[in-house]
Amino acid sequence: MAALDTGNPTILDMVKRTDPDGSIANVVEALSQRNPILLDAAVQEGNGVDFHRVTIRSGLPAVGYRKYNEGVTKGKSTTTQVDEAMSMLEGRSVVDVALAKRNGNEQAFRASEDLAFLQAMNNTQADSLFYASVAVDPEKFHGLTPRFDDETGGANSDNVIAVDTGAAGDDASSIWFITWHPDTVFLTYPKGSTVGISQMDLGIEYEEDASGATPASKFLAYRTHFKWDMGLVVKDWRYVVRLGDIDESINIAAINQTIIQAMINGYNHIYDLNVGRNVIYMSRTVKTWLELQINDKSNLHLGMTEWHGMQVLAFRGIPIVTCDALKKTETNLA
């Protein structure tokens, strides 16, 4: 699958450049089809072993008009440094040698089991991207929801918009507008390490069974170790918009215009739509609701566009992508 642009590479693009035999690239491509965020998100090597330090401009220099023979006061911009955490996600596959041989194609059987581990890691990273909080789980990286969870208190509160669909309690979902680019929002990995998933074949060794016997009972097993170090960097919050408080239990006929109006609001809150790769993420239910509106001749905002070689639903030309990591049980903003 081709890169969308060479200055804004994804994990798949990076792996294809560095994996000589194509094995991990094939794995990443397969996982990308199940979790499209991997096809969209820009990725950049970190500048630290377990963090990525970004310098964010927090203030512009003072300027002023002047008259002849008068001067102006000098000024300078102000910046803030932020260290974005990275996480170490790991898994270990153990396959009984005898069981694999009974299948008739032990390597295929083993690969099938390994793929399940890879998919689990993929799902876990996608969930963390939206919901992980270093305040709750310090071993994880900081996700989007805890960064964009306040309509009034934070500097980015203008980009947190509650959609009035009647959601109450913890039964809401969100729509996300994200502009992926190394200057806006991107994924990162530790300096000098491998981008994406690394897979190490540990060969055959004795493995203790689960019987708890003393001395331990053991069997011969194929063992594989998986590792995926990743972090999320929001360098410029103006390129992320969250539309929250969407109640998916309500009939779409009652709220479809409310959602369309909220998406217009979200669209206009993205600071500059010409900077990077713009994508809208939502749940399968909400995307289905919107797709049903395409045949409505009065609809001026929804259509279809090409995205990674496929025709997908779009809002004002921005592709709308299903993300199954998005939950329907989010805490309400309002």
pLDDT tens digits, 175-230? 999 999 999 999 999 998 878 788 899 999 999 988 888 888 999 999 999 999 99
pLDDT for residue 182: 92
Of 284, 258, 280, the C-alpha closest to 269 is: 280
Our measurement of the distance from residue 123's CA atom to the centroid of its chain's CA atoms, rounded to an integer in Å, reads 10
DSSP 243: E
Percent of the chain with pLDDT strictly greater than 70: 87
Our measurement of the distance from residue 324's CA atom to the centroid of its chain's CA atoms, rounded to an integer in Å, reads 11
Q: Could you tell me the residue ranges of all domains in the chain?
A: 11-55+76-199+230-322
pLDDT for residue 320: 95
pLDDT for residue 154: 80
Look up residue 178 and give its two tokens.
């994200």
Helix (H) or strand (E) segment spanning residue 246: strand 240-246
Interatomic CA distance for residues 185 and 178, integer angstroms: 8
How far, CA to CA in Å, does 53 sit from each of 47, 242, 262? 7, 24, 34
Helix (H) or strand (E) segment spanning residue 13: helix 11-18
Q: Are 94 and 207 in contact (CB under 8 A)?
A: yes
Interatomic CA distance for residues 98 and 222, integer angstroms: 10
Interatomic CA distance for residues 2 and 12, integer angstroms: 9
Q: What is the pTM of this model?
A: 0.85
Tell me the residue length of the chain: 334
Residues of the chain under the 50 pLDDT cut: 1-4, 6
Query: Would you call 260 helix, strand, or coil by DSSP?
Result: helix
pLDDT for residue 1: 33
Within 35-147, residue ranges assigned H as helices are 37-40, 97-102, 106-131
Look up residue 245 and give its two tokens.
């408080």
Query: Would you call 67 helix, strand, or coil by DSSP?
Result: coil
DSSP 157: G
Cis amide bond preceding 215, omega within 30: yes
